Structure 1
Amino acid sequence: MTRALPVLTVLIGLIVIWYAAAVWMNSTWVYDQAERAGTTVTFAEMVPQTMSQDRPLLPPPHQVGAELWKGLFGQAITSKRSLVYHGYVTFKGTMMGFGLGIITGVLLAMAIVRFRVMDMSVMPWAIISQTIPIVALAPMIITLSSQLGLSGREVPKAIIAAYLSFFPVLVSMVKGLRSPDQMQLDLLKTYGASDAATFLKLRLPASMPYFFASLKVAVAASLVGTIVGELPTGAIEGLGARMLIGSQFGEPLIMWASLFASAILAGLLILVVGIVERLAQKRMGAPA
């Protein structure tokens, strides 16, 4: 309870600020309607009306919660209105991009650690690549994918997700593979260990804490990339598409519910990565 108290305090504070902001932003519509009707509205009369608008500028927490509940549990999971269905579509793209990002990041890290020329040539470009806004790059990736005959929406989304997720894996793996000190490397040399044996017995185990730490960042980045990739593709499925539909048709509740569904999905993915990390540590003999 002591550990949860600070978290609950911050959460309650955010909810209070959210409600206050909802009253302030949604009051414009209430006063406008009263002016059109030639009447006046007191503050006490205005506040309840800001809590139940069909299309509020800022939905209050209880409206978002009700819409989120309806999207998650009030629909059949095969329904096109179900957030579970759209979450699964986004989940598939996230996992494809996440897997591609891991493979790319690990292979590049191994090459950078092994070959100095790769360190001097590839690493600066990898850093520069992250300065390009993904919202500007996404349409280019989609266009190039179409020109190359990569039909469908899954491949461009996976590429965009991998673009965001490979970098934290790359940086962390380079740091992890280089973490053994010179005395440890020299000791293996005295045993006549080959470069492959040094990698498998020393560098790779030493990099695991860095690797799993990067996965928690990478899986969240992959989810963001997938959602961004759903926006310019004209997709009608996925949480990103659901947000876009809510924005285009003036349905803020749909947009906010999809946003929170994405946050829940990100939290679950990070939780799964943490479980896999603990299992791997146990397998490698780390203390519980």
Structure 2
Amino acid sequence: MNAFRHHVLPVLTIVLGIVIAWYVGSVALNSAWQLGVYERADNTEWTITDLWTDTLNQNRPVLPSPHQVAVEFWNTGIAPLGDLPERGMRAISPRTLIYHAWVTLSATLLGFAIGTATGILLAVAIIHSKAMDKSVMPWVIASQTVPILAIAPMIIVVLASIGLKGLIPKALISTYLSFFPVVVGMVKGFRAPEAIQLDLMRTYNASSAQTFWKLRWPSAVPYLFTSMKVAVAISLVGAIVGELPTGAIAGLGARLLAGSYYGQTVQIWSALFMAAILAATLVGLIGVAERRVTKRMGVSA
């Protein structure tokens, strides 16, 4: 009971407040169009209840209501899962959110893996070389000042000119965004050991490799998982952004584009919710891995 009161109830209260504010916002933003519909139809007998109901169930609302998004998400994202045991992968058609989520997720995971590996290698080089620290680190920071929306089309065009299309360009855009938090976090983690600990390793006549694996790496593991949580979420953003300038026909970015072209705001919002669920799931999986690794290391997460 105490767990419900202290953990579940506050979350439910916030969610309820968001849903109520969302419904109020939907009515406020969509009512102007509905009043115009009544006026054009010479309908002078409408009531507040009619306005509320019609406003929250428009085909192309400015701000779709929560239940519209929920229905769209169920029909395109959850319901097809029930057909998988009988129909197999044929149930995953390009019309479902599952299909588009998988396309975006594949680019996200590839970009995240490359970005994490690149970030760790750069961090190792930076802490072992003053030249790398002075020369590379400022460029790493400066790289993130350029808007990704400006870089993405250039990456797509350049790679397409040499025959690289589809997954690789999107993964590289994800890599560009995801490697930065890993570099910064791991550099801080590798430098976390105190001077007295480093002096103790020198007293034991430990080599640089032994100092790295027995002192610096264990100290950096908590920083690694924290950085990876940020990196995987931003990697998903990079994959979606990579789909926007290409006119892609698959992926959550393509779903957003199609919805904007045809004024299907319900489709746009359902795609946004799928992206949010993907990001939360990926971050949660990294959190599970963090707890297991730190437990084996004898460190509380």
TM-score by length of 1: 0.96
Partner of 2:18: 14
Partner of 1:32: 36
Q: In the aligned structure 2, how far is the partner of 1:287 from the partner of 1:147?
A: 50
Contact 1:97 1:158 in 2 (8 A): yes
Partner of 1:110: 124
Q: In the aligned structure 1, how far is the partner of 2:110 from the partner of 2:201?
A: 38
Q: In the aligned structure 1, how far is the partner of 2:176 from the partner of 2:48?
A: 50
Cα offset, 1:283, TM superposition: 2.6
Cα offset, 1:181, TM superposition: 0.6
Q: In the aligned structure 1, how far is the partner of 2:158 from the partner of 2:239?
A: 17
Q: In the aligned structure 2, how far is the partner of 1:264 from the partner of 1:139?
A: 27
1:250 is aligned to 2:255: no
Partner of 1:155: 168
- Higher mean displacement: 214-223 or 233-242: 233-242
Partner of 1:265: 278
Cα offset, 1:10, TM superposition: 1.3
Contact 1:153 1:233 in 2 (8 A): no
Q: In the aligned structure 2, how far is the partner of 1:192 from the partner of 1:130?
A: 40
- The letter of the residue matching 1:233 is T
> Can you list the C-alpha shifts for 1:79-114, whole angstroms capped at 9, x where unaligned?
111111111111100000000110111111111111
Q: In the aligned structure 1, how far is the partner of 2:10 from the partner of 2:184?
A: 32
Q: In the aligned structure 1, how far is the partner of 2:257 from the partner of 2:169?
A: 18
- The letter of the residue matching 2:199 is D
Q: Is the partner of 1:254 in helix, strand or coil? A: helix
Q: In the aligned structure 2, how far is the partner of 1:154 from the partner of 1:272?
A: 23
Listed as ranges, the gaps of 5+ residues in structure 2 are 84-90
> Can you list the C-alpha shifts for 1:24-57, whole angstroms capped at 9, x where unaligned?
1110111111121233344332111111111111
Percent of matched pairs sharing the same residue? 52
Q: In the aligned structure 1, how far is the partner of 2:137 from the partner of 2:15?
A: 40
Aligned counterpart in structure 2 of residue 47 of structure 1, from 52, 57, 64: 52
1:218 is aligned to 2:231: yes
- The letter of the residue matching 2:19 is I
1:165 is aligned to 2:170: no
Cα offset, 1:144, TM superposition: 1.4
1:122 is aligned to 2:136: yes
Q: In the aligned structure 2, how far is the partner of 1:52 from the partner of 1:45?
A: 11
- Higher mean displacement: 266-275 or 42-51: 42-51
Partner of 1:209: 222
Q: In the aligned structure 2, how far is the partner of 1:73 from the partner of 1:204?
A: 42
- The letter of the residue matching 2:58 is Q
Listed as ranges, the gaps of 5+ residues in structure 1 are none
Partner of 1:5: 9
- Higher mean displacement: 76-85 or 254-263: 76-85
Q: In the aligned structure 1, how far is the partner of 2:30 from the partner of 2:241?
A: 28
Structure 1 stretches of 4+ with a deviation exceeding 4 A read none
Aligned counterpart in structure 2 of residue 189 of structure 1, from 169, 189, 202: 202
Partner of 1:61: 66
Q: In the aligned structure 2, how far is the partner of 1:71 from the partner of 1:273?
A: 27
Cα offset, 1:14, TM superposition: 0.9
Cα offset, 1:287, TM superposition: 4.8
Aligned residues: 287
Please provide the CA RMSD for this pair.
1.3
Q: In the aligned structure 1, how far is the partner of 2:48 from the partner of 2:28?
A: 11
- The letter of the residue matching 2:33 is W
Q: In the aligned structure 1, how far is the partner of 2:297 from the partner of 2:281?
A: 24
Cα offset, 1:73, TM superposition: 2.4
Q: In the aligned structure 2, how far is the partner of 1:72 from the partner of 1:201?
A: 46
TM-score by length of 2: 0.92
1:241 is aligned to 2:254: yes
